[in-house]
Structure 1
Amino acid sequence: MSELLLSSSSPATTTTTTQPLLMGRKWKHLDDQQQIHDDDHSVCSDSSSFKLVSYNILAQLYAKHLQVSDPNICDWELRKQRLFKELMNYKTDIICLQEMDLYEQYWKSTMMKGFAGGFDSSYAEKTGKRNGCGTFWRRDRFEMVQHLELHLEELNDYLEHSHHATNTSIAEEPFERRDVANLTLLRDLQSGGERGKLLLIVNNHLAWDPKYPEVKLCQMFYILKAVHQFLNKFAKQCDRDSEHTEVIVSVILCGDYNSLPDSEVYDLITKGRALVPGKEIKFNKHCELFRNGVEYVKSTSSSHHFHSSKQYLINPFPPAKSAYFEIYEKEPEFTNYTSTFHGTLDYVFTFDFDLKSDHDETNKTRPCHENINTDTKELNQKPPSQQLEIVDALEEISFEQAQEFSFLPSLIYPSDHIAHCVKFTWHAQQ
């Protein structure tokens, strides 16, 4: 396989490494059950298709403190070259980066002029921190319609203050974690005629601490409810604007969820509902955002005749498809490989949203102790419109590749995460 030679920009530096095109990975098509097809190095020339990459690139402020076998692994002048060349080799149309620091100093200008045609961008920075989520798109293919930064520490404002005092398993600090989601509504200039098809990119990074699955679940619930509110506001704007007659917005959720495939976060996105782990989460009764979307299931202990209820959070959207699960019929073995952990934390999901539909009726809050059907198949029964289809995904690396330098990052793989690369296609209007 052909390779790229990487070296420091400093004339005095002689260290070089080789970085395989596509990092030695191949594309697999949805219909290819046995065979992974040849490498695809081209930008999508078909106006009905586009590629997206989602990648936690490991903030340099964290990388510089890692104990690695070779200092060149985390040297920024070398690592930024490996990151940039890796992104360039994917030949993608949309790039979603998490743990991105140095946005103004490096990434914004580099991406604007570093690719043919250039990339425009949006950025959401964590409050009080020097990294965040950056979304980039080919300026000759997409234009931004609207943008929203969502700061997840605001979730704490929507909880009952007594909640922290009564729930001993949750300290006050976890719900104030300064994580972010970057919402960018794009119009595809090459699809959908003069108006162009609408695409909402939700690029997010959830709390990392495995001790607090309820925090991650609430963060994801908050993001989904905020996205629902964002799209409903846009729908009202379209109603007022006679030039906006679009009906469907395709949504791509991507990022570092810090959640395994058997987690509550994954269930909320792909099944439509998730059981709240631990004690009940009490939302502010005066908060309109969370007025709908909570259900309770009554359960009885036959031995003690004790009545209790289980709390579920409800996704306001139809269940989303996981891109890698659609292609490979399973999630990757890992997307994060460090000296102390390996597992799948990163995903790309998609669903369609009908701007003309009223989804509120599917998310009414049910009173505590009411018996409800727990079959998630009955939730959000309206099937997605299938405007956007997942067609290809780039295979993940092997354990052997990850272990070449004991753990990630390495001289080949510049982050401790592996990039998710997916190809989508628009379905023609019926």
Structure 2
Amino acid sequence: MPGLRSSVGSARTMAAASWQLARGRVFRPVVAAAAKKQEPRRTINVMTYNILAEKYTLGGWHSYCPTQHLKWESRRARILEEIESYDSDIICLQEVEAGVFSELLQPWLQQRGYRGHFQARQYGENVQGAPEGVALFYRTSLFEPAHVHEFTFAAVQTDPPAPLSPWLSSSSSSSSDTEDTSTTALVAPTPAAAATARGPNVRLATGFGASSAATAAPAVASSSLSSSSSSRAGGERRLGRGGGNSEFWSVFTRRQEGAILALLRHRPSKRLLLAGVTHLFWNPAFPDVKAFQAAALCREAAAFLRRHCGGSAAQEVPVVLAGDFNSLSRKCVPDVFDPKLPRGPEGLVSGVYALMTRGRLPPDHPDHPASRRRPGETANGDFRDVTLTSSGLRLASAYCLAHGRDPPLTTRTATFAGCLDYIFISPQHFEIESTLELPYDDPSSSYSTSTEGRSSRSWYDSVRDPLSDVAFTPIPDDVYPSDHLSLAARLRLKD
């Protein structure tokens, strides 16, 4: 990729540069934690950032952004500066192209004392453009790696199992669990995806809100999968699995999303910590697939902990799982995917968010595989009376713990705005010292009331549709290099 190596050298001078984004976003202390005695050696800074793969800037989905600001040559220095400015100990990145990892991020962050791992979520001959995936970096002066595990959700031994599943387990060729943490790009030999990993992400993301673009989304999603899934769907029907809902299994088993888990030893305290990065399926027509991916993530994380730390490790080891979960914490405006929403200020809490923060997703939740039905589908009998769980992991959103709710938005395009990115932590193990504030008017981020005297909670309740209710222009632009905003939190290990 042109210019990658030159950017490594130029990045060395960035510490002296004054950049608008780095200056504009600061860490705001959490009131409860600020009053306590600070112990720097027990503080861990975690960052998550979807950096927007270069190939997704070429499809016309960001036509609102001038071309010169979409070019990688323009965006890369701003991405590097943002990563460096927040001085994180654990860095979780999404939409990292393989070449960007191996030629830019890996050597650049290695010079700064980090070790990194890459998991591609696109493989095979049908991938358009460079494969992209997730990357996990951690500061080696603070953490000693014990075990690293890379896997795809389709390779997890799920409950219920997928029809025609070869019962892939964590020892399969598409996952790895090693003590020697590799720093090279991992490209696993799994089948090509049934649809592009992000593809029309920016367009179809409008399905979270009412828009003309969203109206066509189900048809686009269905047509993109029908040809590649027809033979498998027939096999499912022959086995009597999946009921009338063959689309769910066809999509789940062919998707290539996954995660990287790293069991790290915190050098100052000698304690083990589990850090993970993931990027769930983008398509708003399949919240049931996303929920099952989240359940697979938790199931594999809990098994990984038990394998290396003992039976009760899911409750004893501090956990940080961060990434782009492509799911809203709440939906208050009906759309083509959810024309009817529950009454109340919270609206519809997505299946992914409910599972991650409440530990379970009952079959009657609208995003559960037993309840979600697309046009022409009937109930999926495989999930009748099956409650999806977090496999014993107790998790909460760091921003919600700090502020009482999640940000109104972490992504903003011309047609969609919402919170899709999260830092999930085990609250029994961490206190939150500060969070990176958002670059828009958000009373709770500064712990004050608005000019009208409303409380931050009242302001939050008034934000029903972030696209119209939050004053923040579409990104990327000349300041923000991605269509997602980064999140970061400073966590303090409890005694």
TM-score calculated relative to the size of structure 2: 0.61
How far apart, CA to CA, are the structure 2 residues paired with 1:134 and 1:310? 36
Name the residue aligned to 2:54: 60
Total equivalences in the alignment: 337
The Cα RMSD (Å) is: 3.5
Q: Quick one: which of 57, 68, 74 aligns to 1:78? A: 74
Displacement of 1:25 in angstroms is 2.0
How far apart, CA to CA, are the structure 1 residues paired with 2:9 and 2:471? 27
How far apart, CA to CA, are the structure 2 residues paired with 1:388 and 1:199? 11
Does the residue aligned with 2:435 lie in a helix, a strand or coil?
strand
1:67–1:164 CA distance, 2 compared to 1 (3 A): farther
How far apart, CA to CA, are the structure 2 residues paired with 1:166 and 1:337? 36
Does the residue aligned with 1:202 lie in a helix, a strand or coil?
strand
1:23–1:260 CA distance, 2 compared to 1 (3 A): farther
Q: Which has the higher strand share?
A: 1
Displacement of 1:20 in angstroms is 2.1
Q: What pairs up with 1:85-96 in 2 under 5 angstroms?
A: 85-96=81-92
Name the residue aligned to 1:257: 325
How far apart, CA to CA, are the structure 1 residues paired with 2:487 and 2:31? 19
**Is this contact kept in 2: 1:21–1:89, CA < 8 A?**
no
How far apart, CA to CA, are the structure 1 residues paired with 2:368 and 2:435? 38
Name the residue aligned to 1:188: 266
**Is this contact kept in 2: 1:55–1:96, CA < 8 A?**
yes
Deviations 1:292-341 (A, max 9, x none): xxx99xxxxxxxxxxxx654212212431210011111110101111221
Q: Which has the higher helix share?
A: 2
Name the residue aligned to 2:118: 123
Name the residue aligned to 2:135: 134
1:67–1:147 CA distance, 2 compared to 1 (3 A): same
**Is this contact kept in 1: 2:278–2:325, CA < 8 A?**
yes
- 1:425 pairs with 2:492: yes
How far apart, CA to CA, are the structure 2 residues paired with 1:23 and 1:211? 38
How far apart, CA to CA, are the structure 1 residues paired with 2:290 and 2:23? 31
Q: Quick one: which of 35, 38, 45 aligns to 1:51? A: 45
1:127–1:21 CA distance, 2 compared to 1 (3 A): closer
How far apart, CA to CA, are the structure 1 residues paired with 2:247 and 2:271? 45
Name the residue aligned to 1:388: 430
Displacement of 1:280 in angstroms is 5.3
How far apart, CA to CA, are the structure 2 residues paired with 1:320 and 1:227? 12
How far apart, CA to CA, are the structure 2 residues paired with 1:226 and 1:207? 17
**Is this contact kept in 1: 2:362–2:368, CA < 8 A?**
no
Q: Percent identity?
A: 28
Name the residue aligned to 1:356: none
- 1:203 pairs with 2:281: no
Specify the code of the residue in structure 1 equivalent to 2:119.
Answer: A
Please list every run of 5 or more consecutive structure 2 residues that lacks an aligned counterpart in the other structure. 1-5, 11-16, 164-235, 330-348, 372-381, 443-466
1:226–1:409 CA distance, 2 compared to 1 (3 A): same
How far apart, CA to CA, are the structure 1 residues paired with 2:368 and 2:485? 34
Q: What pairs up with 1:6-405 in 2 under 5 angstroms?
A: 19-20=19-20, 22=22, 24-31=24-31, 46-65=40-59, 66-101=62-97, 102=99, 103-113=101-111, 115=112, 118-128=113-123, 130-154=131-155, 158-160=161-163, 161=236, 162-164=240-242, 166-167=244-245, 170=248, 172-189=250-267, 191-192=268-269, 196-236=270-310, 248-261=316-329, 262-276=349-363, 277=366, 310-351=385-426, 386-398=428-440
Does the residue aligned with 1:340 lie in a helix, a strand or coil?
coil
**Is this contact kept in 2: 1:54–1:348, CA < 8 A?**
yes
Displacement of 1:163 in angstroms is 3.6
Specify the code of the residue in structure 1 equivalent to 2:28.
Answer: K
Name the residue aligned to 1:306: none
Deviations 1:103-158 (A, max 9, x none): 11211111111x3xx21111111141511111111121112111111112335983
1:216–1:163 CA distance, 2 compared to 1 (3 A): farther
Bigger mean CA deviation after superposition, 125-134 or 309-318? 309-318
Specify the code of the residue in structure 2 equivalent to 1:95.
Answer: I
How far apart, CA to CA, are the structure 1 residues paired with 2:405 and 2:50? 21
Specify the code of the residue in structure 1 equivalent to 2:104.
Answer: Y
Does the residue aligned with 1:170 lie in a helix, a strand or coil?
helix
Does the residue aligned with 2:19 lie in a helix, a strand or coil?
strand
1:50–1:279 CA distance, 2 compared to 1 (3 A): closer
Deviations 1:239-298 (A, max 9, x none): 9xxxxx9x932110110000010101111111111134478569xxxxxxxxxxxx99xx
**Is this contact kept in 1: 2:53–2:96, CA < 8 A?**
yes
Does the residue aligned with 2:151 lie in a helix, a strand or coil?
strand
1:23–1:56 CA distance, 2 compared to 1 (3 A): farther
